[in-house]
Amino acid sequence: MGIVADMCREITALTPAQIEVLDNNAGILQLVADVANAQVTVYVPAREENLLVIAAQAKPNTSYIQYKPHRLGTIVNASEEPLVWRTITSREHITGQREWALGMEALAMQTFPLHDSEGSVIAVASFEFSADATATGDHTIVVETAYMLLTSMRIGAPGKIYRPLSSRDGIIVVDGHGQVVFANASASSIYKILGLGRVVGRKVYERQMNIRLAQKAANNRQPQETELEIGSVVLAQRAIPIVRGNQTVRTVVIVADISEIRKKEKELSIKSAVIQEIHHRVKNNLQTIASLLRLQARRAESSEVKAALQESVNRILSISVVHEFLSQQDSEYIDIVEVTQNILNLVVQNMLDPGFAIRTVFTGGKIILPSDQAVSLALAINELLLNSIEHGFVGRMDGIIGIDMAAEQDYYRIDVWDNGVGLPPGFNQHESKSLGLQIIRTLIEQDLGGEFGLRSDSGTRASITVPCSKEAQEKCNR
């Protein structure tokens, strides 16, 4: 249960079953306000006599109401809400007006009783409208339908289909005989595009209406939702039956033209497929370049040239790993943990001398980065692994290389370590002329805006911290 239930338990004398009824009603109050084009407030009698508490309220998304209501949880005297109090005592629907402030245009107001399963009045729903809303002849049908919708939702019914409306949504009300008795301006505009000049008075099963969904909802007495493609127009439809005494007395149909949305989704899907194909081709091209460099390394007579070419191969393959991941998914964000695992395997396979026994240790959660940052971090990790293999195990034939990765509150931490010989005495990373370390510092500090440190720790440990965006953090938490 939610805020309404907590408030009623604290301030009112309602039973748990009655509170559950009100909490259920509050769950669709926004939709009810949108259908009625009205501000809806639920008043509940407080424990103390002649006092009312505002337990729930909703302002419509479909029209403008100037009045600013009391805040949720406000306790008011019954004399301040005479129409509400009369509805509680008389158990009747009452129509009237009220002036909220001196000189302000009076608002039309209708109050309806809300009952529990035994028929007792446990609260009042007050509908307040602007003068323009009450001027239309269909106003009574709309308000009555909204009230019926509020009181007909069964406890435990699926909530998604009762979601709020927007100002562009079409609203159609169908009576128990399948005839349209109301259609708002948005609904009329949508059907005018489909060549139907008049909506009110037609039957839902007519071919031109294309809302057989309403008939299905009425017959099954269950809400229905679908998308319908008519030529170049895509309509989203949902039909909510109002059931009384095991009979559908009315059906509320919500219609929205989502043609532009589906068109843009299709365009994005095509663009995403093209981008994935580009990443796939880039990966293939990088692997081709790496193969050519391998051939060149085999023909080289100098061991230094061979080593330099092999390092270049590994750098290129590290970039290709990122593009491979991007070619397999439709997001420009990738999990750097998976990329790092692949790079670690690549380095071990390509750079170790025959007979060297290496053990790898990898610990890490989920770390998400945009593709450009992922490339920079992948290259930095690749350089650290190359340095570890080249310099960390001099005079040894076995060793351990590990990578620890963790997501902190606003940054990522990556440690690359080994149990090798450690850094030479007097080593200073900022004064080192090593190309690998210069590449790492550039990638981490300039490209990623992070920090990089190197120290001896039963071997060598490189520490990287990289700031992460809110969007990346949200993706990590999914």
Q: What is the pLDDT of residues 49-83, one digit of tens each?
A: 889 999 999 999 988 777 766 678 888 898 888 99
Q: What is the mean pLDDT of residues 248-270?
A: 87
pLDDT for the residue 134 = 61
Check whether 351 has a pLDDT greater than 80. no
The HSE-up count of residue 447 (CA atoms within 13 Å, CB side) is: 20
Q: What is the pLDDT of residues 270-324, one digit of tens each?
A: 777 777 788 788 888 888 998 898 888 888 888 888 878 877 877 787 777 777 7
Structural domain ending residue among the three candidates 223, 257, 291:
257
pLDDT for the residue 52 = 92
The HSE-up count of residue 64 (CA atoms within 13 Å, CB side) is: 2
Give the integer Cα–Cα distance in Å for 121 and 114.
6
Check whether 102 has a pLDDT greater than 60. no
Give the integer Cα–Cα distance in Å for 253 and 239.
4
Report the CATH number at residue 41: 3.30.450.280
- Tell which residue, 373, 251, 384, 364, has the closest CA to residue 314: 384
Looking at the fold, whether 357 and 464 belong to one and the same domain comes out as yes
Alpha-carbon distances, residue 124 vs 9, 28, 199 (angstroms): 17, 15, 33
Check whether 389 has a pLDDT greater than 70. yes
Q: What is the mean pLDDT of the chain?
A: 84
Q: Locate tokens 């911290």: which residue? A: 465
Looking at the fold, whether 475 and 359 belong to one and the same domain comes out as yes
Residues paired with 229 in a beta bridge: 234
- Kindly state whether residue 15 falls inside one of the protein's structural domains: yes
Looking at the fold, whether 472 and 348 belong to one and the same domain comes out as yes
The HSE-up count of residue 384 (CA atoms within 13 Å, CB side) is: 31
pLDDT for the residue 324 = 75
- Backbone torsions φ then ψ of 207, nearest 5 degrees: -60, -40
Q: Which range marks the domain in which residue 10 is found?
A: 1-158
Structural domain ending residue among the three candidates 257, 277, 301:
257
Give the integer Cα–Cα distance in Å for 10 and 12.
6
pLDDT for the residue 275 = 74
Check whether 461 has a pLDDT greater than 60. yes
- Kindly state whether residue 163 falls inside one of the protein's structural domains: no
Q: In the structure, what pLDDT confidence band is assigned to residue 382 with cuts at 50, 70 and 90?
A: confident
Q: What is the mean pLDDT of residues 92-113?
A: 79
- Tell which residue, 58, 73, 70, 75, has the closest CA to residue 98: 70
- Backbone torsions φ then ψ of 183, nearest 5 degrees: -145, 125
Domains of the chain: total: 4
Structural domain ending residue among the three candidates 257, 276, 301:
257
Residues paired with 233 in a beta bridge: 230
